């Protein structure tokens, strides 16, 4: 119960043909076919588009250095004569 058999589908198709008429139904199916065709064409255009817009490979560049500017060698001050570090 609840499933559609072949007879149910045939009766439904006959009722639809009677309501809409053969010519009108054909026109609707033609419009559906045109819509599907344009949809497939749009998908094919989307697949081709990235290939055309490929960016050429760039030359290898050095990475950007973001470390803060510091002197090349830190300056060392001689320890004062009174520091405990000089006696160890």
Domain-wise residue ranges, the chain: 1-49
pLDDT for residue 36: 93
Average pLDDT over residues 43-49: 75
* Cα dihedral: 75, 78, 83, 87 (round 10): 120
Assign 26 a pLDDT band (cuts: 50, 70, 90): confident
Residue 63 has pLDDT above 80, yes or no: no
Classify residue 25 as exposed, middle or buried by CB count within 10 Å of its CB (0-12, 13-18, 19+).
middle
> How much is the pTM?
0.34
Residue 41 has pLDDT above 70, yes or no: yes
Q: Are 16 and 25 in contact (CB under 8 A)?
A: yes
Assign 11 a pLDDT band (cuts: 50, 70, 90): very high
């Amino acid at each position: 119960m609840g499933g559609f058999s072949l007879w149910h589908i045939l009766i439904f198709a006959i009722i639809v043909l009677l309501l809409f008429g053969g010519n009108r139904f054909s026109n609707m199916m033609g419009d559906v076919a045109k819509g599907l065709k344009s949809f497939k064409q749009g998908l094919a255009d989307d697949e081709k588009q990235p290939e055309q817009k490929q960016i050429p490979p760039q030359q290898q560049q050095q990475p950007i250095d973001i470390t803060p500017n510091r002197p090349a060698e830190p300056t060392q001050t001689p320890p004062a004569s009174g520091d405990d570090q000089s006696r160890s």
